[in-house]
Amino acid sequence: MVPGQPVIERGAYHWIRHPSYLAAILMMLGMGLALANWISLIALGIVPLGIYAYRIHVEEKALVETLGQPYRDYMTRTKRLIPFLL
């Protein structure tokens, strides 16, 4: 991150702040469901969700420290992972 870099708000970033993380979580959940047992669903769905939740927390803290108010404003207009919900 470079101080003064713009906050991107086009495309998927218009609706959510972490579209690639959402895609990865959905892909892992899909793989867990495709394997058709609850252990794989937990291992490939729930565990990565916790890991990404921590990563998002750390990343957003760094973005606020680096980009400041423009990123805070962006955070108030968008959701983290699920448009209109979360």
pLDDT (tens digit per residue) in 69-83: 999 999 999 999 988
pLDDT (tens digit per residue) in 10-58: 999 999 999 999 999 999 999 999 998 989 988 998 899 899 999 999 9
Domain boundaries of the chain, sorted by first residue: 11-77
71-78 long-range contacts, CB within 8 A, separation 24+: 71/7, 74/7, 74/9, 74/17, 75/17, 77/9, 78/9, 78/13, 78/14, 78/15, 78/16, 78/17
pTM of the model: 0.85
